[in-house]
């Protein structure tokens, strides 16, 4: 170990002070104070015992040596920092007052007593030090006032007493609020570090989750592509071998290619949403026209499987809002198609539109079967399926609701799922009347 490292370990008492400036500061102060007290006590013990034969003061110096060594033992060996500090504070409290009571101020003055409050504030901090300092001054100033005629070799008078008291209080005041400001600044620094650490951990967890989602998406997409690609491979091989009829094979091949193309388009749209590049082309949309378009497009599909589709428009005839017509048709087309695909025969599908909270609320709900509460939150997850076989049977990519959520949020709107009063699933979307363009 180098000399520099040895000095550092001595003054920090072997504590780990990484990123803890207050602990480092406190250790430097207490070890320095102990070392200085020990050296001064040894010097004056020798001087008082062997030079001037003052055994009373020499005994105080000897006691000082013993107590300081014990405090150093607790700090360096037992690692009891707080106990060591309190011993130093208590010892100096009694030593300074005993020093004054023995009329040593005739020779040395009261200058020593200026330092005690500063040490106490630095060691204990502003909150814990105030009562000890108050007690110290009550005893010290009482002694000073009573012993005016003998202190400072008889030069001590009431004016000197007032000057000393005022100067002491100024020093305490400055030291106290200086330490208070440092303590407050350090506390704020610790809060900032904590927030930065939490933000860093949150970012790390977010990145890990994103990577995990990307891996899962890759696995799921590979799984989704496997079935149509397998069918394509079988039919192409059959065509090559002349086993199957071309007229029968081409429609199947076309459907599978459309399925693959739809999946790729959906993934592309969601990828753009992930990087906030999902482009919205807002225009003025008449609510009544949107309702008519959806009703005209999906009523025949519903009737083909004995489902009733009703539209309830509670807005004024020419009520309008800003949005991307094609994107919103995709959203409500997905929602209505889901209801058609997963509603039992002879069921009911309802689309309701109304004004709410300075926006347009559009509700799509259907009759049985419903979706369990714990499953509803997962439906927005990409490629999540409650019943994967049913999803594949209808040609779905498993990304429909995730796309709906991305488009609605790109409009600065909200989308949520809940139980329908009809017995099935209820999807509620809210869109602002005016599209707020992002500032570049």
Q: Write out pLDDT tens, residues 126-157.
A: 777 888 888 887 877 777 777 666 665 556 67
Q: How far apart are the first and last CA of the chain?
A: 58
Arithmetic mean of pLDDT, 221-244: 74
Q: Write out pLDDT tens, residues 32-46.
A: 888 888 888 888 888
SS3 of residue 18 by DSSP: coil
Using CA atoms, how far apart are residues 416 and 380, in angstroms rounded to an integer? 9
- Contact assessment for residue 217 and residue 383, using Cβ atoms and an 8 Å cutoff: yes
- Contact assessment for residue 400 and residue 420, using Cβ atoms and an 8 Å cutoff: no
- Residue 350: pLDDT above 60? yes
Structure-model confidence comparison of residues 334 and 234, the more confident one: 334
Kindly give, in sequence order, each residue whose CB lies less than 8 Å from that of residue 60, ignoring residues fewer than 6 positions away.
95, 98, 99, 102
- Where residue 228 falls among pLDDT bands split at 50, 70, 90? confident
Q: Is the dihedral of CA 147, 151, 153, 159 positive or negative?
A: negative
pLDDT score at 440: 44
pLDDT score at 397: 58
Q: What structural domains does the chain harbor? A: 3-199 (no CATH), 283-432 (3.30.565.10)
- Contact assessment for residue 339 and residue 380, using Cβ atoms and an 8 Å cutoff: no
Question: What is the pTM assigned to this prediction?
Answer: 0.51
C-alpha distances out from residue 77 to 18, 66, 183, 283, 366, Å? 20, 16, 28, 77, 75
Using CA atoms, how far apart are residues 350 and 365, in angstroms rounded to an integer? 5
Arithmetic mean of pLDDT, 260-280: 74
- Where residue 389 falls among pLDDT bands split at 50, 70, 90? very low
Q: Write out pLDDT tens, residues 302-324.
A: 888 889 999 998 888 788 899 98
**What mean pLDDT value characterizes the chain?**
79
- Where residue 1 falls among pLDDT bands split at 50, 70, 90? low
Using CA atoms, how far apart are residues 377 and 398, in angstroms rounded to an integer? 14
Angle at 216 between CA 213 and CA 217, to 5 degrees: 85
- Residue 256: pLDDT above 80? no
Structure-model confidence comparison of residues 209 and 31, the more confident one: 31
Using CA atoms, how far apart are residues 295 and 292, in angstroms rounded to an integer? 5
Arithmetic mean of pLDDT, 10-30: 76
Using CA atoms, how far apart are residues 436 and 411, in angstroms rounded to an integer? 8
- Residue 391: pLDDT above 50? no
Structure-model confidence comparison of residues 79 and 249, the more confident one: 79
- Contact assessment for residue 30 and residue 68, using Cβ atoms and an 8 Å cutoff: no
In the chain, pLDDT over 90 holds for what percent of residues?
7
pLDDT score at 56: 77
**Residue 369 gets which letter from DSSP?**
S
Highest mean pLDDT among 59-73, 85-99, 123-137, 166-180: 59-73
The helix-helix angle for 325-342 and 287-304 (nearest 10°) equals 30
- Residue 294: pLDDT above 80? yes
- Residue 99: pLDDT above 70? no
pLDDT score at 266: 72
pLDDT score at 390: 36
DSSP sequence for 284-328: EEEHHHHHHHHHHHHHHHHHHTT-EEEEEE-S-TT-EEEE-HHHH
Helix (H) or strand (E) holding 250: helix 246-274
- Residue 394: pLDDT above 70? no
pLDDT score at 104: 53
Arithmetic mean of pLDDT, 165-179: 79
Q: Is the dihedral of CA 135, 136, 139, 144 positive or negative?
A: negative
Beta bridge partners of 353: 313, 362
Q: Write out pLDDT tens, residues 56-72.
A: 778 877 888 888 888 88
Contacts 24+ apart (CB under 8 A), 219-223: 220/382, 220/383, 220/398, 221/263, 221/267, 221/383
- Contact assessment for residue 74 and residue 83, using Cβ atoms and an 8 Å cutoff: yes
């Amino acid at each position: 170990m180098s000399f520099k490292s040895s000095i550092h370990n001595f003054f920090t008492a072997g504590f780990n002070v990484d990123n803890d400036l207050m602990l480092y500061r406190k250790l430097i102060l207490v070890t320095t104070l102990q070392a200085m007290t020990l050296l001064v006590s040894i010097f004056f013990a020798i001087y008082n015992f062997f030079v001037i034969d003052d055994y009373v003061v020499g005994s105080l110096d000897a006691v000082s040596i013993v107590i300081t060594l014990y405090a150093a033992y607790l700090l360096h060996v037992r690692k009891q920092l707080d106990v060591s500090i309190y011993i130093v504070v208590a010892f100096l409290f009694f030593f300074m007052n005993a020093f004054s009571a023995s009329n040593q101020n005739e020779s040395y003055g009261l200058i020593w007593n200026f330092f005690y409050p500063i040490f106490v504030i630095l060691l204990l901090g502003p909150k814990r030090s105030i009562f000890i300092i108050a007690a110290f001054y009550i005893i010290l100033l009482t002694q000073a006032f009573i012993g005016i005629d003998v202190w400072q070799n008889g030069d001590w008078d009431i004016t000197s007493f007032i000057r000393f008291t005022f100067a002491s209080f100024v020093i305490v005041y400055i030291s106290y609020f200086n330490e208070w400001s440092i303590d407050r600044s350090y506390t704020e620094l610790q809060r900032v570090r904590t927030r930065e650490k939490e933000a860093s951990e949150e970012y790390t967890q977010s990145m890990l989750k994103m990577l995990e989602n990307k891996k899962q998406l890759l696995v799921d997409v590979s799984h989704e592509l496997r079935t149509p690609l397998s069918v394509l491979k079988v039919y192409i091989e059959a065509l090559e071998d002349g086993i199957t009829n071309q007229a029968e094979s081409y429609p199947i091949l076309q459907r599978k290619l459309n399925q693959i193309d739809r999946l790729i388009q959906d993934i592309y749209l969601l990828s753009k949403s992930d990087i906030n590049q999902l482009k919205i082309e807002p225009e003025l949309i008449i609510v009544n026209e949107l309702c008519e378009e959806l009703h005209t497009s999906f009523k025949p599909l519903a009737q083909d499987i004995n489902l009733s589709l009703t539209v309830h428009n509670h807005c004024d005839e020419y009520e309008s809002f800003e949005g991307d017509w094609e994107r919103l048709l995709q959203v409500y087309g997905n929602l209505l198609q889901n209801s058609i695909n997963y509603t039992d025969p002879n069921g009911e599908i309802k689309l309701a539109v109304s004004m709410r909270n300075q926006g347009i609320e559009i509700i799509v709900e259907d009759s049985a079967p419903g979706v369990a509460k714990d499953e509803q939150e997962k439906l927005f997850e990409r490629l999540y399926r409650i019943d994967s076989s049913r999803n594949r049977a209808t040609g779905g990519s498993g990304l429909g609701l995730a796309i709906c959520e991305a488009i609605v949020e790109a409009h600065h709107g909200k989308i949520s799922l809940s139980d329908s009063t009809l017995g099935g699933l209820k999807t509620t979307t809210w869109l602002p009347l005016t599209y707020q363009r992002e500032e570049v």
